[in-house]
A and B are shown apart, each in its own frame.
Chain A
Amino acid sequence: MSMHWDRFRASTVRLGGNGSASLRGTSFGDGGLRHTSSQTVRLGRVQPQHPSHRTIFCNDREANQPVRFKGNSVSTTKYNIFTFLPKGLFEQFRRVANLYFLMISILSTTPISPVHPITNVVPLSLVLLVSLVKEAFEDWKRLQNDMSINNTPVDVLQDQKWETVPWKKLQVGDIVKVKHDAFFPADLLFLASTNPDGVCYIETSNLDGETNLKIRKALERTWDYLLPEKASELKGEIQCEQPNNSLYTFTGNLIIDKQTIPLSPNQLLLRGCSLRNTEYIVGAIIFTGHETKVMMNSMNVPSKRSTLERKLDKLILALFGGLFFMCLVGAIGSGIFINRKYFYLGLSGHVEDQFNPSNRFVVTILTMFTLITLYSTIIPISLYVSIEMIKFIQCAQFINKDLHMYHAESNTPALARTSNLNEELGQVEYIFSDKTGTLTRNLMEFFKCSIGGEMYGTGITEIERGIAQRNGMKIDETTSATAVQEKGFNFDDPRLMRGAWRNEHDPEICKEFFRCLAVCHTVLPEGDASSDKITYQAASPDEAALVTAAKNFGFFFYRRTPTSIMVREANIEKMGSVQDVTYEILNVLEFNSTRKRQSVVCRYPNGRLVLYCKGADTVIYERLVDGNNDIKKLTREHLEQFGSSGLRTLCLAYRELTTEIYEKWNEKFIQAKSSLRDREKKLDEVAELIEKDLILIGCTAIEDKLQDGVPLCIETLSRAGIKLWVLTGDKMETAINIAYACNLINNAMKQFIVSSETDPIREAEDRGDPVEIARVIKDSVKQYLERYLEEAQQFLRSPYGTKLALVIDGKCLMYALDPALRVSLLKLSLNCSSVVCCRVSPLQKAQVTSLVKKGARKITLSIGDGANDVSMIQAAHVGVGISGLEGMQAVMASDFAIAQFRFLTDLLLVHGRWSYLRLCKVITYFFYKNLTFTLTQFWFTFQTGFSGQRYYDDWFQSLYNVIFTALPVIIVGLFDKDVSASISKRYPELYKAGIRNTFFTWKVVAIWAFFSIYQSLIIYYFTVAASPNGHNSSGKVFGLWDVSTMSFTCIVVTVNLRLLMACNSITRWHHVSVWGSILAWFLFIFIYSGIMTPRDRQENEYFVIYVLMSTFYFYLSLWLIPVVALLGDFLYQGVQRFMFPYDYEIVQEIHRDDPEESRRQLLEVGHHLSPDEARSYAIARLPRETSKHTGFAFDSPGFESFFASQAGVFAPHKPWDVIRRASIKSKHRTAKS
């Protein structure tokens, strides 16, 4: 049972600052229910509340009948069988390209059109068909998901028995029984539980991402309704609010035996939560199906479009421009050309408007429309559907099934929740990351310590390992026999373990060190008093780690009473001796963020009075007694060393007290404690009086355990040109510390710190005038920003290339995000290679994200795990949720879900980069092939008197996009790889091409367009110029359709081969698709020109291919034209590669001789090195630079009383809350056993 206490802190941040949170007093006065104030959190939009209330009769279906409550079945599908076609089609025609082709299709049924309607109808309907099938498939999966949920069995009370029915059969008012670990089928009124006191524990991770258990308590009046016989007697009436989406509020009354009992959120069990640590509960259904709070909250995540697609729109627009230009040229030409002198055109007498020489203007206008239908192929109709298919497969087959992104421990593969954003992953420049749960595991481990100037601990942190590797040092892979593996303790040093400390040169100070750890804390032990069964409940994981450390050193803290602490001490008298010692705790001087220390006054059994103190090095050093400078100096060095390795440090000190001094002080303390005004402040002042003349013992170093591979991943990402910003709700110290641990900040960097923890601000805050506080903070933020910006410019101009880092806290950020200062903030932060924002609210996370997204127009990615990251995830271009361990909320809002932060490397550098490259290739190629095709048609127009005569047969034109050139480009979109995945990760810099958008610029498009024009000219003029004499045709000559078929053959061959030339890697699928497409064309034309259909249409194509193939013209041209057409591209590619190679091309060349690697072996070895194995590498101390950063980052979160927060009352953190909570839990435990 690991309780994530830190989550509580996180939750308070959420509650305090969530964007959609609103603070309001609820006064639902009908039963005299009083809520002083209540905090409302909504996940989605605020929904209007029904003015009245609903009345539910428990256990009485007939009585509820007239009200017609909604059923409990849910449906998340978009369509049903009737709405599918109209709604689906409507969705499709919202796309401009589809609408355009619909219009063209309509236009082509008119006589204006030179082409048969099939030319446009066939591709359009194929495209629509594919899209609709995809929609139907997705909806089908949703339907299946719904059905499996709706059919989950649950026990419901019927005739004094529990009957098992599916969820969907439940009705409002039913009494249900929910068993251990099951999900609540609807929103329930909690009636009774198997636990004593009518409590139950629920997990709400599906709702808010919090994994800690919450307690719900049934009304005393209903505790008995546990067994079916008893429960069936319940005939109550519930009056409550109408369904709404506020998760944490509920008001209502239970009227039972004419007695009105008010209800509160404490009695409400929400759908989506699950029951924990309780055998079963009985509840009455209040809200069902879509009316449950969670369903009311289910929001439609705004669908995101990728930047590339938005650029694509511009390209399409440019194509429209080109189309218009071509049509205009042709139309004007036709107006000039048309003349009665061409008697063979039959223009005398009555002529339709389009060819009437008497009105050339009308001719021009009408020809314009003619040409629009003729040139419509310039808009690649199948582009969007192809891209969609490619992306869909990329997601479903590649991202979701990548073994490199599968996390074995949590059994979680990666999940792409939207297929719109694959290529966006290849262009990310800024990553915004949450800290807890994303970068770190929220697991604190005692890692090193320094006692009396001697450093202990042989472990090495990830960051040290990184440094060592960079310096080319070997890391010893030895595991000591004395190493102890325990949660919270990851320390090994034979000099201290198993009582060996007795042999150190100053065992007394070691003893003080261990006692300080064992005594000076607010931790509660839980469970049996044996060292392997006990668990510690602490307000912060740091404290638990310290106490665990003391236990492992032989000072086992096993029981706490309000006035004493019991420690089982080993090896005190002599090696192997064990004795229980009771320390009387006289005072606890609490931790808070201004004091940055915590003290305990305790009395030894022998009467010795000692004050133990632990805290930040800055505050402890100020209060040390003079002398002992050696230890102070050494310890300071150690602190710096720990700090730069990313460890969190605490200094330990003690002070011997005499009874007189203590008694005198204690009086003042009691006075302060009982004072009614400014109690906190007075307590702090009194504490100052005794916390002085301390003797330094040493310091501890705790590792805030990072997720696996985080520093490496961050380094890789930074080499890839991606900037990581950490946005965290933590304190500044913690945040900086983690930044050190992740290698985001190091001592070589210039740090700019914008903090609100300065004296002027504090003074202003003490004075308490909000307007003045705002003014002071704003001024100081402004000063900071201006000064830093100036410095930053200097650093950037300096030749050393110093990297910059910005640290800013939430309060300052609030003012820095002000429109007036926003620009300077942005300027400064964009110059920094890493930015850490601490103490930020979820809303601010989103604001920072959109500041960069909108202000700097850079592509952003947010990654987080909790509900507090949702807004940030939605604000960024790409949202990534950490799945597996934490709740669902972040994942539900995300676009991609991965199990570990380090998988970002794979997601971005491999999948993202490839997707980007592929998509660029697909888009530019589509552009090219349609332009080439249309241009040949355009050149032909010039030689037909601008009449708009089609060059190609209708079917050629309609199948060109959907058959003859469709598949290869999809294959490229799926399989093209410039370099392999492992090389992609070895050369992260390759990613920069995506950030710079190298492969989809107007220049790239222009080059393709240029060669498209070149090729179309070659194809058109060569076929035409070679055609006048039918070669080897026994004198017979070709007609229009022979030549056009020849042209079309050349185009199909050229365009398909051009694709092959654009490929970086050619698999057999490339061959199959490219040669298959060419073959498909020939098969088609053999059949098509071989048959005569009885339908009324022109038989232009009859036998054409056979006629062609009987001549040399065909073979000579087919050999010449594609080669000549492609020679230009080939020359360009050769020169470009030779003279101006792309980075990826160089890398390809470097690794050209590498054997075909299978990543399979790599998978087995490199990837499953567990962190603990990795940790067990031991190494001697590394040489390090001294630093100023000492790594103090003790977190004692503002722990709130559970019950207080439930009632919406703000309660500051008190140690006894921990005790109360623990006592409840142990009671529950004993009840179970």
Chain B
Amino acid sequence: MMNSTSASPAAPISVSGDGTDARRNSKRPKYSRFTQQELPACKPILTPQWVISIFTLVGIIFVPIGVAALLASHDVVEIVDRYETDCIPGNDRIGYIQNPTTNKTCIRFLKVPKDMDKPVYVYYQLDNFYQNHRRYVKSRNDQQLRDKSKANETSGCDPEKTTANGVPIVPCGLIAWSLFNDTYNFTINNGKALTINKKDISWKSDRNHKFGSDVFPKNFQNGALIGGGKLDPKIPLSEQEDLIVWMRTAALPTFRKLYGRIEVDLKENDTITVVLENNYNTYSFGGKKKLVLSTTSWLGGKNDFLGIAYLSIGGVCFFLATLFTVVYLLKPRKLGDPSYLSWNNNRLMQ
């Protein structure tokens, strides 16, 4: 019926007959709440009381959550050590880092500011590293990582698809190729070595489903340009947890990735000696490198953001509630006062 503009005008129209017929022919629409638009509905009216109470309610809920989150975050002890500038001698940083023969060992001393309960997580943090660049993100092939038989599947892996002589690289693509390869070794106080547990640093789902247990690295880092870490061709990908962590690409150009866990408690004023291999080139693009040791609370690692957000929003809500109350008390508007209707206003003005 809609838009039918040329319906035939010659349609025969049934002639309405007697009473019973007429009832049958009645075009009276049936009553239904839907067609008469009378569905039962709640009609909330945003009165100042409602505004004030909702603001107050949000405040009441948010402030405690904020406090709790902030406290939890403060419980977390975090040691952050930026080392990429100190661990490099001389000015030719890029030449130094790209030279495979130079000794890149660097020793850092960290002081434990507070007791750190186990497990202590070891992270590395990179800066100005665009793991979320479009060219980078897509440069991988999940089929190949998962399935041994699909080693030749290298679509999307440009430009790290194959070696110079055309053999497919496993794992292919820029992400794997640029694998982070600084290493850290820890000793505590008097030279007692701290073992780092590098198991279970990746999400289980990644290990079990995205990286095949029968897929082994092949032709990896054999090209002219070495992007980063090498992989032991004897260990299946599902156990190469550094790679798995690395390949869960970060959302932002500044990111942390889990390196391992120290599974002993650290005491206040303990000194940790870190012997690190500063292999990874962040100097080309001026990226920072940081080593992070952190405990966790019930909420997780150190992050004040959520706590502050909750707390300040709660505070703002309280403030707004108060402000509204004051305005409401000083200059109330009677609800449903017809004189506020625009047509009544006009009359007053005239």
Contact = CB atoms under 8 A, between A and B. Distances in A.
A1032 interface: yes
Interface of B: 1-12, 15-16, 22, 25-32, 34-48, 50-51, 54, 58, 62, 65, 69, 119, 121, 123, 129-140, 142-143, 146, 153, 155-156, 158-160, 174, 177-178, 200-203, 205-206, 209-210, 225, 227-228, 245, 248-253, 255-258, 261, 281, 284-286, 294, 296, 298-303, 305-306, 309-310, 313, 316-317, 320, 324, 327-328, 333, 335-338, 340-343, 350
B257 to A, nearest CB: 6
Interface string A405-432: 0101001110111111000000000000
A1039 B249 contact: yes
A942 to B, nearest CB: 10
A1035 B31 contact: no
Nearest to A1099: B142
B309 A1124 contact: yes
A1102 B248 contact: no
6 contacts: A343-B281, A344-B129, A403-B28, A1038-B251, A1146-B337, A1152-B335
Contacts of B261: 1035
Contact of A298 (B9, B34, B41, B174): B9
A1099 B251 contact: no
A1061 to B, nearest CB: 9
A76 interface: yes
A1124 B313 contact: yes
Contacts of A1133: 46
Interface in A1116-1149: 1116-1117, 1119-1120, 1123-1124, 1127, 1130-1131, 1133-1134, 1137-1139, 1141, 1143, 1145-1149
B174 A149 contact: no
Given A1116-B306, A1160-B31, A1040 B131 contact: yes
Contacts of A1036: 201-203, 258
Most buried by A among B5, B146, B158, B253: B5
B36 A402 contact: yes
Contacts of B146: 1099
Contacts of B65: 1116, 1119
A401 B256 contact: no
What is the size category of the interface that chain A forms with chain B? 35 or more
Contacts of B286: 341
Nearest to B292: A1029
A1138 to B, nearest CB: 5
Nearest to A297: B9
A1035 B226 CA distance: 30
A571 B65 CA distance: 99
B343 A1141 contact: no
Contacts of B341: 987, 989, 1143, 1146-1147
B10 A1028 contact: no
Most buried by A among B26, B37, B121: B37
Nearest to A1130: B54
A1022 interface: yes
B3 A977 contact: no
A1039 B250 contact: yes
Interface string A286-309: 000000101100111101000000
B256 A181 contact: no
Given A349-B159, A1148-B45, A1107 B3 contact: no
Given A149-B11, A206-B9, A418-B3, A1069 B40 contact: no
Contact of B342 (A114, A346, A992, A1039): A992
B251 A142 contact: no
Interface in A1013-1054: 1022, 1024-1040, 1042-1044
Nearest to B305: A1025
Interface in A341-383: 341-346, 348-352, 355, 370
Contact of B35 (A149, A397, A977): A397
Interface stretch (A59-67, A258-266, A944-952): A944-952
A1199 interface: no
Contact of B336 (A975, A1127, A1150): A1150
Contact of A1096 (B133, B143, B249, B327): B143
Nearest to A74: B8
Most buried by A among B158, B177, B251, B305: B251
Nearest to B175: A344
A980 B1 CA distance: 28
B245 to A, nearest CB: 8
A142 B7 contact: yes
Nearest to A355: B135
B325 to A, nearest CB: 12
A1137 B46 contact: yes
Contacts of B251: 1024, 1027, 1038-1040, 1042-1044
A540 interface: no
A1103 B136 CA distance: 22
Contact of A344 (B8, B46, B174, B205): B174
A443 to B, nearest CB: 21
Contacts of B62: 1120, 1123
Contacts of A1106: 205
Most buried by B among A989, A1022, A1067: A1067
B136 A345 contact: yes
Contacts of A949: 132-134, 137
B300 A1030 contact: yes
B349 to A, nearest CB: 12
Nearest to A182: B12
A638 B183 CA distance: 112
A146 interface: yes
B338 A403 contact: no
Given A339-B285, A1026-B309, 12 more contacts: A76-B8, A148-B11, A341-B285, A343-B281, A346-B174, A406-B28, A944-B132, A1064-B43, A1092-B209, A1098-B140, A1117-B306, A1146-B336
Contacts of A415: 1
B296 A1035 contact: yes
Given A392-B2, A1152-B43, A411 B333 contact: no
A398 interface: yes
B313 A1120 contact: yes
Contact of A348 (B4, B225, B300): B225
A49 B183 CA distance: 94
A827 interface: no
Contact of B284 (A343, A419, A1117): A343
Contacts of A351: 159
Contacts of A546: none
A1039 B16 contact: no
Contacts of B31: 403, 1160
B58 A1127 contact: yes
Interface string A1136-1176: 01110101011111111000101110000000000000000
Contacts of A1123: 58, 62, 313
A278 interface: no
B131 A413 contact: no
A973 to B, nearest CB: 12
Most buried by B among A345, A992, A1112, A1159: A345
8 nearest interchain CB pairs?
A: A1031-B300, A1029-B301, A1149-B336, A1103-B205, A1039-B248, A1134-B51, A947-B134, A401-B29
Contacts of B256: 1028-1029, 1037
Most buried by A among B1, B156, B202, B303: B1
Contacts of A799: 350
A183 interface: yes
A326 interface: no
A1156 B43 CA distance: 10
Contacts of B301: 1028-1031, 1035
Contacts of B302: 1029
Interface string A952-972: 000000000000000000000
Contact of B138 (A74, A412, A1098): A1098
Nearest to B174: A346
